[in-house]
Structure 1
Amino acid sequence: MSKYMLIMRGTDQSNAAMMADIEHLMAATREFIGDMVKAGVLLAAEGLDDASRSVVVDFGGEVPVVTDGPYGETKELFGGYFLLDVASKEEAVEWARRVPAAPGSKIEVRRVAGEDELPQDREQVAAEGVGSRGAGRV
């Protein structure tokens, strides 16, 4: 089995379409999540807050600079994700095709690298709890 992340990407137009039909879309999403749970493939699923309430930490200079909101040039923003444990990329794509999404939305399908693929010293990685045993915890 391999982990894949289905990343929801929307535009201002697709997000507006989603909000216009939010009740139907949320009901369809609840059903979709139920289907993934029944199939035993869903590891996590979460939506992200509005990008206007985010901050960006830019490492383009010597000192990181923090600014409010998303990058000004962004045409698509991540809106949330589903994390799946499936047999293949093809299976992940089949689940992605079933995501209830507003017209104009996109779903990016990306494999999650395994712990054995990390470039660091394996003993250090294990000692620090990185990978499936605690990656991303701050």
Structure 2
Amino acid sequence: MRYMLIIHHDDEALAKAPQQGLWGEYAAFNRALNKASPGFSGGERLIESAESTIVRNGDGTTQVLDGPYADTKEQLAGYFFIDVASREEAVEWANRCPSSKYGAIEIRRILDPGAP
């Protein structure tokens, strides 16, 4: 089953983390995930939420707002796509993700092509 691991973290908490160690942990996590998950397609880190742009068009007029979108400390920070046998295995990978120490990892199953 394919899942998306969606990383939410506190930018301030992550900035205080030992950066060299953190990125070393991410390199090891990426290598392990690439080896274990045939559907692993890499992850991407997103720019800080303060630099995001929000676009709304609910009433036919376009509104462009500066981010962040959510009024919370934990912001969308990045993602991974994985292909694993079960939700439990996806939880294991989310727990191993270095950002799980600085926020939360949301797990979303990807809808199978052709599903209603």
Same fold (TM over 0.5): yes
- Sort the TM-score into its range (normalised by shorter chain): 0.7 to 0.9
Report the more deviating stretch, 32-41 or 8-17: 8-17
User: 1:62 maps to what in 2?
Assistant: 60
Deviation at 1:115, TM superposition (A): 1.5
Of 14, 17, 23, the match for 1:26 = 23
Cα separation, 1, equivalents of 2:100 and 2:93: 16
1:36 to 2:17 alignment = no
> Counterpart of 2:41 in 1: which secondary structure?
strand
Q: Over aligned residue pairs, what C-alpha RMSD do you find?
A: 1.9
1:79 to 2:77 alignment = yes
* Residue deviations 1:36-63 (CA, integer Å, cap 9, x gap): 1111342221100112222101234332
From the CA coordinates, give the structure whose radius of gyration is larger: 1
Instruction: Tell me the TM-score normalized by structure 1.
Output: 0.73
User: 1:7 maps to what in 2?
Assistant: 6
Deviation at 1:22, TM superposition (A): 1.1
* Residue deviations 1:3-55 (CA, integer Å, cap 9, x gap): 1011110124433333xx11100001100110011113422211001122221
> Counterpart of 2:88 in 1: which secondary structure?
helix
Cα separation, 2, equivalents of 1:102 and 1:112: 21
Cα separation, 1, equivalents of 2:89 and 2:70: 35
Instruction: Tell me the TM-score normalized by structure 2.
Output: 0.86
* Residue deviations 1:92-117 (CA, integer Å, cap 9, x gap): 11111111126441111111111212
> Counterpart of 1:30 in 2: which secondary structure?
helix
Cα separation, 1, equivalents of 2:24 and 2:89: 23
> Counterpart of 1:71 in 2: which secondary structure?
coil
Task: Give ranges in structure 2 of 5+ residues lacking alignment.
Answer: none
Cα separation, 2, equivalents of 1:57 and 1:22: 32
The list of structure 1 runs, each at least 4 consecutive aligned residues, that deviate by more than 6 angstroms after superposition, is none
Of 63, 79, 90, the match for 2:88 = 90
Cα separation, 1, equivalents of 2:59 and 2:32: 46
Cα separation, 1, equivalents of 2:95 and 2:11: 21
Cα separation, 1, equivalents of 2:34 and 2:102: 27
